[in-house]
Structure 1
Amino acid sequence: VVTLVCEAGGVLDDGGRLLFPAALVNAALTGLRRDVVLAARAPGLDMVLSGRAVHLGSGGAAPMVVDLETGLYRPSTLADLYDAARLVDRLPHVQFFSRSLVARDVEDPRQMDLNTAYASLAGTTKHVMTSAASVEAVADIAELCVGIAGGADAFRARPFLSLNINHVVPPLRFAPEAAEVLIAAARAGLPVQVNTFGQLGASSPVTIAGCVAQTVAETLAGMIVAWLANPEVMAVFGPRPMVTDLRTGAMAGGSGEQALLTSVAVRMAQHYGLPNSTIAGATDSKLPDAQAGFEKCLNVTMAAQTGANLVTQAAGMLAGLMAASFEAYVIDNDMLGAVLRSLAPVEVGAATLSPEGIGTVVRGEGHFLGHADTFARMQSDFLYPDLADRRTPDAWAAAGAPDIRQPARDRARAILASHFPAHLPPELDAALRARFDIHLPETRMRPA
């Protein structure tokens, strides 16, 4: 990193600090791509990261999963990760799959990174985001993607996988191995999520302005390194400052301060005109309950209304990102649909203002329920929830007074029992298994 930056005009001072002159920063800001498109293998699911376009998805890299049958927390496995991917594959409002679980049953880090990418790509054709702990793992993942795409040029034209890279250890220190991963990924043609996680009051200043200023500087440093490694790199500006509960030292990802902090960081990305990402949805609740609902909805909606291009961790996570829950994925899919619907532009014109229709109804029956326009638009203009209960209290009580978790569990079970996608054709899968040490058994990828 030092050599790359210094050859471009950077300076290593007597104290060992790497300095980025204004001319280098401005050159990178001018040269960095704004036309970043994160492709999907399914038609119609590409994500264009420009302006205030918003895409909501999963994430988290949790070490635990909430068992769908027992409701208990347990260590997560590669099979759990595959299940999460194929569940997201069927949830329309979870728009991408960012690795949400750690495959703790794969001990070798390089094998874990490769198998995480494989299981994710086997489970969904939505865009996949994962990570790599070493330069060697970057090469493995790039080779896997090239094999699936049918060639290096095909993958570079439509990159369906990107890497989340946390290149610094705040405050203002590069993480050497992660920085090398960033360079290797950029040169391999992998899109890179250049992410920085400072904790307000812990690893960054306690004020929102100070925390964002430091986080933006750290993130910009990573963007410059990626651009120097490959001027055509698809790099996503990912300032992700997090709030710490200063009474306990625990993360407070569902707080109002977190919503404000995220919004300000996204506004800085927009100031530079850079494709961007952030985190929202890191509830502190241990269950998909009312606390999880209000914390997630506050933070995801704030990020979306600010115009974050990518919002990760928006679905499925509990306990401050320590666990993923399959029933929470299903519940959050409803929430994300409502959030996305709230972003829709309001069409204003003669047809929508409807002065003639208002006049007709006022002089006639006095309501719009039977009006032709009401009937025509009841399907096109409304998003009806899959799970949220809109029955009358009497009808709800007659059905056994269920809360939202029961139908969510039933829906998750139904998807996981039936949806075993063939996203990797048998011949391709056989070739990948011959080339790589794939840990996910073929028998686990079809119905029992």
Structure 2
Amino acid sequence: NSNKPIVFTADAPKDIDDIYEMACAVAGSSEALKKNPFLLHYAEPISPLLFPVEPVQKLIRCAHYHLPVGMIPAANAGAGAPITNAGSIALANAEILAGLVIHQLKNSGAPFLYGYNVATLDMKHAVISYGAPEFRITDSALADLARFYGLPSWGTSGCTDSKIVDAQAGIEATFAIYNSMLSGNNLVHDVGYIESGLTSSMEMIIMMDEVIDMCRRFIEPITFNKDTIPMEAYGRAKLTRGFVADRHTLENFRQAQWTPKRLDRAQFDDWELGGKKDLYQRLNGEAKEIMSSHVPEAKSAEVMAKIDEILEKRSREYS
């Protein structure tokens, strides 16, 4: 019940057939889906260099249907890949390109995403770390390789190893988002993941919405022109001894300043009068409000009937 783009997995190759049919029903036709695809299949080899039959069959089916697919190895350093960044990047690249060759041999020109999840195995706790700087380093390097091959790239961001939305979560996820923006990843996944990708948090998703907006401000270029360097305002400031009340400030402050929606800038007394809520409390309140008030945009009765027909047909096959 979402109108946002979907990254999906499939249990078996034949599931791709049903998913494709449902996507065509939503899009209106196979040609409409081909022209404006809104979903992507997440395909994955087993590192190092193992391509089981089923993932390859799913890859080929996606190529047949001209359905976007990403070959996304989890070549995690120290686990399925060498411990070094260079070693894990080289292995992941080989696995991605192998998937690309198989895919394009089936249907040359079918949409393919250069994907990768190249994190690192924490040797102390035996977990794949979603907050490790090495994860961000490999994201950046592989984004460069994707551009070299002329392919759109996958990235991960806005995630953390922390079990709750706390300072650790903010530190790790913010570095990840800023890194993704500087790296130029085209499709960024994992936003809102906590506990090393094992849990998704509504509060984390909302906090990352704020961080994404802030990071967009960070990467905006500075514009130098007669409007941003206000010579007349400089002259007026000689008389008023400041710019607070100047009309140039009034006309431009909304565009010149980034204004947070959830981060607190109030003075202590005002914050205290407002209930002394910390960031998590504010995020939790907003999450509950969204969950209670949001009404998803429903698909038409015709589309839902077609989807039900596809599901019923598959249910009969399994019964």
Q: TM-score, normalised by structure 1?
A: 0.66
Residue in 2 that maps onto 1:160: 38
- 1:7 is matched with none
Q: Percent identity?
A: 27
SS at the partner of 1:351?
coil
Query: How far off its partner does 1:238 sit?
Result: 0.8
* TM-score (normalised: structure 2): 0.92
2:205 aligns with 329
1:385 paired with 2:263, answer: no
| Shift of residue 282, structure 1, vs aligned partner | 3.0
Shift of 1:400: 2.6
State the aligned residue count: 313
Separation (CA, whole Å) in 1 of partners of 2:159 and 2:71:
19
**Residue among 54, 65, 76 paired with 1:199:** 76
Give deviations 1:183-208, integer Å, cap 9, x for gaps. Answer: 10111121112211111112111111
C-alpha separation between the residues in 2 aligned to 1:434 and 1:187? 23
1:359 to 207, 225, 234: 234
CA distance in 2, matches of 1:434, 1:376: 57
Measure, in 2, the Cα distance between the counterparts of 1:328 and 1:388. Answer: 13
The secondary structure found in structure 1 opposite 2:129 is coil
Q: Residues 375, 437 of structure 1: CA spacing in aligned structure 2 closer, same or farther, 3 A cutoff?
A: farther
Helix, strand or coil: the match of 1:196?
A: coil
Asked if residue 180 in structure 1 is aligned to residue 45 in structure 2, the reply is no
Corresponding residue number in structure 2 for 1:79: none
Matching residue of 1:320: 196
Deviations 1:371-422 (A, max 9, x none): 3232222223444222111111121122232111122122111111121223
Secondary structure at 2:87 match in 1: helix
The match for 2:87 is 210
Question: Alpha-carbon deviation of 1:431?
Answer: 3.4
2-side partners of 1:412 and 1:336: how far apart? Answer: 17
Displacement of 1:362 in angstroms is: 4.7
Query: What is the aligned counterpart of 1:137 among 5, 15, 26?
Result: 15
Contact residue 233 and residue 248 of structure 2 kept, 8 A: no
Map 1:49-448 to 2 at 5 A.
Answer: 122=1, 124-166=2-44, 168-314=45-191, 316-354=192-230, 356-357=231-232, 359-437=234-312
d(CA) in 2 for partners of 1:338, 1:194: 31
C-alpha distance in 1 between matches for 2:243 and 2:186: 38
Q: Which amino acid aligns with 1:337?
A: D
Q: Distance in 1 between matches of 2:148 and 2:172?
A: 27
Find the aligned partners of 2:236 and 2:105 in 1 and give their Cα distance: 64
Structure 2 residue identity aligned to 1:347: T
SS in 2 for 1:278: strand
Distance 1:270 1:366, change over 3 A: farther
SS of equivalent to 1:244: strand
- Kept in 2: contact 1:282–1:317 (CA 8 A): yes
Residue 277 of structure 1: CA displacement? 1.0
8 Å CA contact 2:177, 2:211 repeated in 1: no
Q: Please list the CA deviations of residues 331-358 of structure 1 after superposition, one character each: whole Å capped at 9, or x if unmatched.
A: 221111112222323323332233x146
Shift of 1:177: 0.9
| Counterpart-to-counterpart distance in 1, 2:250 and 2:71 | 47
Query: CA separation in 2, counterparts of 1:243 and 1:413?
Result: 34
Deviation for aligned residue 1:320: 0.4
Quote the offset at 1:169 in angstroms.
0.9
Asked if 1 retains the 8 angstrom alpha-carbon contact of 2:203 and 2:284, the reply is yes
Q: Secondary structure at the match of 1:190?
A: coil
Cα distance in structure 1, aligned partners of 2:83 and 2:291: 43
1:338 alignment partner, SS class: helix
Moved more, 357-366 or 274-283: 357-366
Q: Deviations over 1:114-167 (max 9, x none)?
A: xxxxxxxx2x2222211113221100100001111111111111111111111x
Distance 2:180 2:266 in 1: 31
Larger RCO of the pair (alpha carbons < 8 Å, separation 6+)? 1
Q: Which runs of 5+ in 1 are unaligned?
A: 1-121, 439-448
1:281-305 per-residue CA deviation (whole Å, 9 max, x = no partner) reads: 3311010111100010112211211
Q: Structure 1's 131 and 378: CA in aligned 2 closer, same or farther, altered over 3 A?
A: same
Judge conservation of contact 2:158–2:208 (CA < 8 Å) in 1.
no
CA–CA distance in 2 between the matches of 1:134 and 1:341?
A: 43
Unaligned runs of 5+ in 2: 314-319
1:327 is paired with a residue of what secondary structure? Answer: helix
CA–CA distance in 2 between the matches of 1:282 and 1:244? 16
> What is the one-letter code of the residue matched to 1:317?
Y
Q: CA deviation at 1:209?
A: 1.1
Tell me if the contact between 1:318 and 1:324 (Cα under 8 Å) persists in the aligned partners: yes
